[in-house]
Amino acid sequence: MGNISGTFNASKALFKPSLIKPQLTYSNFNELPIPLNNKIKAIVLDKDNCIAYPHETHIWEAYTDQWEKLKRVYPGKALLIVSNTAGSNDDKALKGSKIIETNTGVHVLRHSTKKPGCHQEIMQYFRDNKIAGKPDEIAVIGDRLFTDIMMANLMNSCGIWLKYGVVKSINPLMMFERFLSRFF
């Protein structure tokens, strides 16, 4: 199923390019400073190409030490995986999200609207779990400017862009995003 939210929201960047500008940029997950800063209480993580090889259900082997450190510093429900596959309406019977939760020890958000449109569901999750009450207490970590970083900016949260992720993608859209990043 396509990403109607992504397509609709991407057009907003034409009129407001700051929507796709990250607050912080790192090449990959292992470069993240942990803790991020004292203000951040909750972290949203994209899965594919950020913490896991695309379409895999476990943490990328080279990132396991950093992952365990992140889980110690942001325990329990302070971490949330938000994917446009696992936990979305495309995840039949939520099989993918359940496997990822088992393999990572982190909850996967169940959401009906794909990124960047699911920001209200994210805020509700953190409020319900008494983790973060304000958007600026949340960091969104992802490898896509038009979904992850745009969602962070729509939420007024901290957007952290992983420029290359697990693998340097040759996907034309991702190459275009890296080209656009030169103008930030």
Q: How does pLDDT run across 26-36, given as a tens digit for each residue?
A: 999 999 999 99
pLDDT at position 18:
86
Q: How does pLDDT run across 54-103, given as a tens digit for each residue?
A: 889 999 999 999 999 999 999 999 999 999 989 988 889 999 999 999 99
Instruction: Tell which wins on pLDDT, 6 or 179.
Output: 179
Residue ranges of alpha helices (H) inside the chain are: 4-10, 12-15, 64-73, 95-104, 119-128, 150-155, 172-181
pTM as predicted: 0.88
Q: Rounded distance, CA 114 to CA 128, Å?
A: 20
Instruction: Output the CA angle 50-55-61, nearest 5 degrees.
Output: 55
Q: How does pLDDT run across 140-153, given as a tens digit for each residue?
A: 999 989 899 999 99
